[in-house]
Structure 1
């Protein structure tokens, strides 16, 4: 097992420990690496549309030749001391719980009440990602279907979980040479309602149909669309949208704002846009009421980017709506209702199937908004290790934000030992600060860590800085006896 972990997943982040010069060479494609300014060639994959689609590679690149398999294991007493120093820091407090394990062997290196469940905030998204991808696979795609009912004269836009749809044409499946976006960034708008309208209009015209009513069918996502565990301010301030399984740009009204207002009914907005796309193609389309259990013939289908790219987008942007949506997709795919209760049970069952001890785990939403969520730090580190050993989630580290470089860690670790050698998921709620992921020590040893702090009386800046310094300590630690 050790060789598999080393060669397949752990090595992508090690190259960054060398120097900024390697980063620049990597971006210019002069040396191996996951950073690039040029699109990767991708192989074609089957796709149920009029045009072929090409599957993009998951983030991450194998860099086994650059990894030293004999990197020494840090002394557990010294790692435990670093964890204790984090708890003793005046910026944190006694509610600071920590787990650090060796990613190769699973040996515990630090345990500060690591079995105690704490409010995890958005580190919950790590478990959602692992649970969903472990069960569905990294190549799974989310389908949006158009279904024509001749008796009703109706085309139903059937929700399949893709809330990243484009209002018109989707992302070109063969990237333009000037398109420097990552695969995760291209997941937004990968499938387009304009492409779906092309298929549907052609099929209707072939049948001699020139006028239809357009409806949305989100009955596979019974909800509640806006989880009762989520605070009202999240919707009001643009942190989340109702989870309808069907949306354009995650229900955002304005893409130029970081946290824009969301449509009250993202699925209805998608149906409005779809009707407009049909009208542009010569089909008179009026809007009808929502449909439950649409029947008829499937006359069009578009599919999302691979699930690996969707979760990479979700983790990098800490997207609450996509996280919750994917947990409900997992429920549907496992044959249970797409309700929060069933979705969280499906996540937990998937983790158990990976061999994770979920004792003490309590999940009420997949995004981490619920203050009733409880995740022991040990569950996070065990889940990370189990994920990188399993085939479907083998590339987990490639989906996580890189310290000082990307996602929610872009403005953290910008000039510190952790820069580029920490990959992690952040977490922040009122009184809660957390970080969980993987760090490479100065000796080249990969460690999984989770630090969760709750019950804090002030903002996140001070405990966040303390956690970052703890991760920096792990990064620069040879920590031999």
Structure 2
């Protein structure tokens, strides 16, 4: 027994001697810097190494929040879960005429595209529907709310990375405008085309420069300024009222495909006795989360987040979805006392996670049958996603999720070390004046781990 205690004591001394270079490196980098750093590192294969610094302290996670969102989705919904979008009717077809309303029922698919709507219209024609004597009704009831999260940066609401979430969405709820000029005038095209927005085109030709502004007010989009002759430009803006916008795009698509519609488009709830005509399924969740994690797509993360609440507890809203994530963390043995969840993407400045909680959920995923599906969703150092241009000296050895909002830059994931070990890590840096110090800390720690400097 004494021998066992002695061996453990010696091993602990060795571990400290190898952890100290990490601590010394971090302390030297953060000295005289008004930054807050939290770190948790642990070896997964051998459990022989662990390093922690403020690991139980709450930090703003930024897009590291997506780790909890996507891991919880894989755990609760399975990697093969698919989002559904349905076309239904409360009427009947006679002599090529649908006598009744047509419903476009959303199921929170973050990948639903204009091409999908076109395929719906084509199928309706194929089965003989040439006229609809009724309305086109969008059903967004899968979620209880639509819009943006609490604590999102309002100054960025004009950009598509803050596009509002909705159970019935199209093209990530981002409208692309194409500006094309000849020698005399400028034309504007919308993608996806729709009847929701009206373009007010006050653009003029200038041989000297291009300088223009785009502003959406209500259902009108105002374009002012100048474009050079014989040129092309693009600008994208987040849509307002995404469910109604999606419904209007479907309405216009069907009319342009040759289907006559006597009614109008609006939102409503599908009656329980409606008959299903089309059920469209997305790619499986294991593919969907790649967009959320590798590319740090906020819209995808928010759609996944609220789907958790709907599918697991019956309500597609923020509070219920946060409860599902918290319950998931509790089930895998993670302390949630310092955790606060206000969204699924990490855009909210009110979110709080600890380095330990992030590392622990990553560690849990490592020991599940669906680890490979989750692991493949993360950005790869020097290869793809948000890490394509980082850590090129250890290319392919780091699989991680980045996180950045003003004053925050974080990194968490897995490291494949030269010593044959697999490390899980979370490095959270808050209260930044510039990102340089965060980059140095993350690179120093990750390079030490990737190069096997902790090997006993």
TM-score class normalised by the smaller sequence: 0.7 to 0.9
- The alignment partner of 1:434 has SS state of strand
8 A Cα contact 1:76 1:108, kept in partner: no
Alpha-carbon spacing, 1:198–1:301, altered in 2? closer, same or farther (3 Å): farther
Taking the aligned partners of 1:321 and 1:446, their CA distance within structure 2 comes to 31
**Residue 233 of structure 1 pairs with residue 233 of structure 2:** no
- The alignment partner of 1:289 has SS state of strand
Taking the aligned partners of 2:16 and 2:421, their CA distance within structure 1 comes to 13
Q: Given the alignment, which residue of 285, 301, 305 partners 2:283?
A: 305
8 A Cα contact 1:203 1:299, kept in partner: no
**Residue 461 of structure 1 pairs with residue 436 of structure 2:** yes
- Tell me the CA shift for residue 394 of structure 1: 4.1
Taking the aligned partners of 2:282 and 2:235, their CA distance within structure 1 comes to 23
| Counterpart position of 1:475 | 450
Alpha-carbon spacing, 1:287–1:388, altered in 2? closer, same or farther (3 Å): farther
8 A Cα contact 2:401 2:411, kept in partner: yes
- Tell me the CA shift for residue 224 of structure 1: 4.2
- Tell me the CA shift for residue 315 of structure 1: 0.8
- What are structure 2's unaligned runs of at least 5 residues? 1-13, 93-98, 179-232
| Counterpart position of 2:268 | 291
- What are structure 1's unaligned runs of at least 5 residues? 1-73, 169-191
| Counterpart position of 1:179 | none
8 A Cα contact 1:216 1:291, kept in partner: yes
More strand by share: 2
8 A Cα contact 1:239 1:259, kept in partner: no
Deviations 1:276-301 (A, max 9, x none): 33234442235422113544211111
- The alignment partner of 1:104 has SS state of coil
8 A Cα contact 1:217 1:294, kept in partner: no
Q: Calculate the TM-score normalised by the size of structure 1.
A: 0.73
Q: Given the alignment, which residue of 249, 272, 276 partners 1:273?
A: 249
- Tell me the CA shift for residue 80 of structure 1: 4.9
8 A Cα contact 2:174 2:236, kept in partner: yes
**Residue 144 of structure 1 pairs with residue 66 of structure 2:** no
**Residue 78 of structure 1 pairs with residue 18 of structure 2:** yes
Taking the aligned partners of 2:81 and 2:451, their CA distance within structure 1 comes to 38
Q: Aligned ranges for residues 20-35 of structure 1 at < 5 Å?
A: none
Q: Given the alignment, which residue of 115, 118, 129 partners 1:194?
A: 118
Taking the aligned partners of 2:66 and 2:397, their CA distance within structure 1 comes to 21
Cα-Cα RMSD: 2.5
- Tell me the CA shift for residue 93 of structure 1: 5.1
Q: Calculate the TM-score normalised by the size of structure 2.
A: 0.77
- Tell me the CA shift for residue 428 of structure 1: 0.9
Deviations 1:388-409 (A, max 9, x none): 2112344322110001110000
- The alignment partner of 1:372 has SS state of coil
8 A Cα contact 1:131 1:348, kept in partner: no
| Counterpart position of 1:246 | 168
**Residue 104 of structure 1 pairs with residue 45 of structure 2:** yes
Alpha-carbon spacing, 1:311–1:255, altered in 2? closer, same or farther (3 Å): farther
Alpha-carbon spacing, 1:325–1:234, altered in 2? closer, same or farther (3 Å): farther
After the TM superposition, list the runs of 4 or more consecutive aligned residues in structure 1 that deviate by more than 6 angstroms: 255-259
Taking the aligned partners of 1:115 and 1:462, their CA distance within structure 2 comes to 22
8 A Cα contact 1:212 1:284, kept in partner: no
Taking the aligned partners of 2:60 and 2:442, their CA distance within structure 1 comes to 16
| Counterpart position of 1:430 | 406
Deviations 1:21-70 (A, max 9, x none): xxxxxxxxxxxxxxxxxxxxxxxxxxxxxxxxxxxxxxxxxxxxxxxxxx
- Tell me the CA shift for residue 368 of structure 1: 0.6
Taking the aligned partners of 1:323 and 1:412, their CA distance within structure 2 comes to 23
**Residue 342 of structure 1 pairs with residue 320 of structure 2:** yes
Alpha-carbon spacing, 1:469–1:339, altered in 2? closer, same or farther (3 Å): same
- Once the two structures are overlaid, the 10-residue window that deviates more, 78-87 or 403-412, is 78-87
Taking the aligned partners of 1:259 and 1:428, their CA distance within structure 2 comes to 23
- The alignment partner of 2:121 has SS state of helix
- Tell me the CA shift for residue 163 of structure 1: 2.4
